[in-house]
């Protein structure tokens, strides 16, 4: 089971990195979204997959009786989902603003902050 999930995570990472390498902001954004999901799946798989045994202590007992599903990765993923979603929302708005202000979504043409034709520092007085 973990092996198949590892393969799936690998595919997610491949797609995410391919999209992140693009020049166009909108593709990079999609790459960021997929990258976040790839990491969530990775943490989920890293916590080991156990089916059908929720970590619930039976009545009258003080501890879990046998092996149970790991609850911690789910807490970690929940945190990571909230964070990556809010970042995605911020970057989406930022990309839109950049498109409105800079009139391009091609990162090669975004040279306002670093102009290509900048003069070298003066050599003397």
Residues that bind another protein (CB under 8 A): 20, 25, 28, 32, 35-36, 39, 42-43, 45-48, 70, 72-73, 76, 79-80, 83-84, 86-87, 90-91, 94-95, 97-98, 101-102, 107, 110-114, 118-122, 125
SS3 content of the chain, % helix, strand, coil (to 5): 60, 0, 40
Work out how close the CB of 34 gets to another protein at its nearest, in angstroms, rounded to a whole number.
11
- How near is the Cβ of 74 to another protein at its closest, in Å? 11
User: Do 65 and 55 touch, CB atoms closer than 8 A?
Assistant: no
Token representation of residue 73: 């990765």
């Amino acid at each position: 089971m973990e092996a198949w999930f590892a393969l799936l995570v690998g595919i997610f990472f491949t797609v995410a990195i391919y999209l992140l390498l693009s020049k166009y902001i909108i593709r990079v954004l999609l790459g960021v979204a997929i990258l976040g999901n790839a990491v969530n799946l990775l943490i989920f798989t890293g916590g080991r997959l156990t089916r059908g045994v929720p970590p619930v202590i039976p009545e009258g007992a003080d501890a879990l009786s046998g092996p149970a599903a790991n609850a911690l990765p789910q807490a970690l993923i929940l945190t990571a989902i909230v964070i990556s979603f809010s970042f995605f929302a911020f970057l989406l708005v930022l990309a839109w603003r950049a498109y409105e202000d800079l009139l391009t979504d091609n990162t090669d043409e975004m040279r306002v902050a670093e102009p290509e034709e900048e003069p070298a520092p003066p050599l003397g007085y």
